[in-house]
């Protein structure tokens, strides 16, 4: 069995590679020639890339204006894949109107029907496809992953710093540019000087992983200059090293504010009496799975919130259907299993999981306004995934809501706060006074909280 036959097998039969994974792994270990081993590993990677490019992600745009586009993902399965895909879709400003998915634990088939949010009229579908492809696991399975000597590194963190004249909506306009360029905002420090100028420091990562190139850096500053134009902008980009750790430090929340934000009596989304969720568990219908039925209010990121909770709780979905909205409500049917591959039969486990899931559906975000000395501060918090990732587009939506109200932001920060059982991502906005919304007024504060909440939830 010559090396030529091995290479020919990979080149002409790439779709059958997963069936022979164990045999290939044994063969690579058996070969004595290091050069042959290297060639086979390279050929495996090429074959795998061919499968992904051909089959893994297909996007069919809507035929008429207003029609949903159909995104089909057909690839090997892995824990948390559905959550990762929903996260990317949410990052691109798309809402999932329907979804069907199934998996046998090795291979999954998912169909999303998506529409752009009102604030995201233009979608780069090619870029979306590439991002979704990048999340699809290797078609060659775990045996190939163990051959890779280099563990994938987290994306590099960069500091974007610019200085310009302040104006209403400035922070959102900058955030919009960064979002369109596919940057993820990790930390923010925004400060306004007495002479009406603003120093913005964004700690960002690049989904394209190209920010180390001069072309990408120039493109970023050019886009910002085009948006800020007449207001004059000084733009700098640098790799965020350890020496910038003090700049990234997040001011600790006052105990009173933390208690109001995270305590049981906090003012949050769940205070809306219409925002309810009904969960029904059935272990009789299927011999191998627990059927979980969910009836809840429709909201932005609903499917993402459900799947990230499943991932964090180690509950696996075998089949699911996310139905179209009816009178403002959604219905979901999910056939699930626990980590042992069996039904969730334990009553205590059921109760704990359903309680956690209901909380994440009803209250995925918390929004309040508190006093900060003589000033007023808007606080927005969302839970952090066990993977360490926060919720997408929160900063974008909050700054959009404040811009629509004509409220200026004096300073802003993004940081993390830990409670007894979890970590939260917290957004802090020190607000300027305005005639339309005097911040000493409880009515004005409630109006601001209501607008921010509705923008975040897509209501």
Give the pLDDT score at 215. Answer: 95
Q: What is the mean pLDDT of residues 219-244?
A: 81
Q: Is the dihedral of CA 198, 453, 308, 249 positive or negative?
A: positive
Give the pLDDT score at 197. Answer: 83
Give the pLDDT score at 245. Answer: 65
Give the tens place of pLDDT for each residue, 386-399: 999 999 999 999 99
Average pLDDT score over the chain: 83
Give the pLDDT score at 18. Answer: 42
The CATH code of the domain that includes 395 is 3.30.70.260
Same domain, 201 and 222: yes
Side-chain half-sphere exposure of 75, counting CA atoms within 13 A: 29
Same domain, 38 and 98: yes
To the nearest 10 degrees (0 to 180), the angle between helices 394-404 and 442-457 is 130
| Cα gap 317→300, rounded to integer Å | 21
Give the pLDDT score at 90. Answer: 96
Buried b (16+ CB within 10 A) or exposed e, 105-119: eeebebbbbbbbbeb
Same domain, 63 and 145: yes
Confidence grade of residue 327 (pLDDT, cut at 50, 70, 90): confident
pTM above 0.75, yes or no: yes
| Of the listed ranges 18-27, 127-136, 162-171, 301-310, the one predicted with least confidence | 18-27
Confidence grade of residue 193 (pLDDT, cut at 50, 70, 90): confident
| Cα gap 248→237, rounded to integer Å | 15
Give the tens place of pLDDT for each residue, 256-314: 999 999 886 434 444 444 568 999 999 999 999 999 999 999 999 999 999 999 999 99
Of 67-76, 145-154, 232-241, the range with the highest mean pLDDT is: 67-76
Which of residues 264 and 199 earns the better pLDDT score? 199
| Of the listed ranges 12-26, 33-47, 222-236, 359-373, the one predicted with least confidence | 12-26
Same domain, 34 and 119: yes
Which of residues 335 and 121 earns the better pLDDT score? 335
| Cα gap 111→59, rounded to integer Å | 10
Torsion-angle region of residue 388: left (phi > 0), alpha (psi -120 to 50) or beta?
Answer: left
Same domain, 103 and 176: no
Burial class of residue 101, CB neighbours in 10 A (0-12, 13-18, 19+): buried
pLDDT tops 80 at residue 209: yes
Same domain, 15 and 112: yes
Give the pLDDT score at 145. Answer: 46
Domain boundary among 124, 149, 174: 149
Please tell me what DSSP assigns to residue 56: I
Number of domains in the chain: 3
Give the pLDDT score at 34. Answer: 54
| Cα gap 72→113, rounded to integer Å | 9
Which of residues 434 and 398 earns the better pLDDT score? 398
- Specify the 3-state DSSP secondary structure of 424: strand
Give the pLDDT score at 360. Answer: 94
Q: What is the mean pLDDT of residues 50-67?
A: 78
pLDDT tops 90 at residue 113: yes
pLDDT tops 70 at residue 382: yes
Give the pLDDT score at 36. Answer: 57
Which of residues 430 and 164 earns the better pLDDT score? 430
Which of residues 229 and 131 earns the better pLDDT score? 131
Q: What is the mean pLDDT of residues 317-326?
A: 90
Same domain, 231 and 315: no
Render 30-53 in DSSP notation, one character per residue. H---HHHHHHHHHHHHHHHHHHII
Domain boundary among 311, 337, 359: 359
Same domain, 389 and 443: yes
Give the pLDDT score at 41. Answer: 52
pLDDT tops 60 at residue 12: no
Same domain, 54 and 173: no
Give the pLDDT score at 434. Answer: 86
| Of the listed ranges 91-95, 108-112, 165-169, 380-384, the one predicted with least confidence | 165-169
Same domain, 211 and 238: yes
What domain range is 279 assigned to?
A: 274-359
Which of residues 361 and 30 earns the better pLDDT score? 361
Percent of the chain whose predicted confidence (pLDDT) is above 70: 80
Same domain, 8 and 39: yes
Give the pLDDT score at 376. Answer: 94
| Cα gap 17→55, rounded to integer Å | 14
Same domain, 234 and 312: no
Give the pLDDT score at 195. Answer: 82
Domain boundary among 114, 130, 149: 149
Give the pLDDT score at 55. Answer: 76
Give the tens place of pLDDT for each residue, 136-170: 987 554 444 444 434 456 789 999 998 888 888 88
């Amino acid at each position: 069995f010559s090396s030529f036959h091995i290479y020919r097998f990979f080149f002409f039969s790439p779709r059958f590679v997963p069936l022979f994974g164990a045999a290939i792994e044994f063969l690579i270990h058996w070969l004595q020639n290091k050069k042959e081993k290297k060639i086979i590993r390279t050929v495996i990677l090429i074959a795998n890339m061919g499968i992904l490019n051909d089959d893994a992600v297909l996007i069919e745009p809507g035929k008429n204006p207003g029609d949903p586009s159909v995104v089909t993902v057909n690839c090997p399965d892995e824990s948390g894949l559905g959550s990762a895909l929903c996260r990317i879709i949410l990052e691109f400003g798309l809402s999932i109107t329907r979804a069907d998915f199934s998996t046998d634990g090795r291979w999954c088939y998912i169909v999303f029907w998506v529409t752009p949010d009102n604030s995201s009229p233009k979608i780069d579908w090619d870029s979306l496809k590439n991002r979704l492809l990048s999340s699809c696991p290797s078609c060659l399975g775990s045996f190939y992953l163990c051959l890779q000597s280099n563990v994938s590194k987290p994306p590099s963190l960069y500091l974007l710093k610019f200085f310009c004249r302040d104006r209403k909506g400035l922070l959102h306009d900058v955030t919009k540019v960064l979002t369109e360029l596919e940057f993820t905002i990790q930390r923010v420090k925004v400060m306004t000087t007495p002479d009406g100028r603003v120093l913005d420091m964004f700690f960002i990562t690049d989904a394209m992983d190209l920010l180390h190139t001069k072309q990408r850096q120039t493109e970023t500053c050019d886009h910002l200059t085009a948006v800020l134009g007449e207001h004059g902008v000084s733009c700098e980009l640098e790799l965020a090293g350890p020496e910038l750790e003090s700049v990234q430090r997040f001011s600790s929340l006052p105990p009173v504010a933390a208690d109001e934000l995270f305590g049981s009596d906090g003012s949050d989304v769940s205070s809306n009496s219409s925002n309810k969720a009904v969960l029904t568990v059935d272990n009789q219908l299927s011999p191998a799975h627990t059927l979980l039925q969910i009836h809840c209010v429709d909201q932005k990121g609903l499917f993402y919130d459900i799947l990230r909770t499943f991932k964090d709780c180690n509950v696996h979905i075998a089949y699911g259907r996310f139905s179209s909205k009816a009178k403002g409500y959604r219905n979901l049917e999910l056939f699930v299993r626990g980590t042992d591959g069996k039904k969730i039969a334990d009553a205590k486990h059921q109760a704990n999981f359903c309680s956690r899931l209901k909380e994440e559906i009803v209250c995925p975000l918390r929004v309040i306004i508190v006093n900060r000395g003589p000033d007023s501060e808007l606080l927005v918090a969302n839970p952090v995934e066990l993977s360490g990732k926060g919720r997408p587009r929160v900063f974008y939506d909050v700054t959009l809501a404040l811009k629509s109200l004509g409220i200026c932001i004096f300073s802003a920060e993004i940081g993390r706060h830990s409670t007894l059982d979890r970590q939260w991502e917290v957004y802090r906005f020190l607000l300027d006074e305005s005639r339309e919304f005097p911040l000493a007024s409880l009515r004005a504060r409630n109006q601001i909280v209501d607008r921010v909440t509705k923008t975040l939830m897509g209501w």
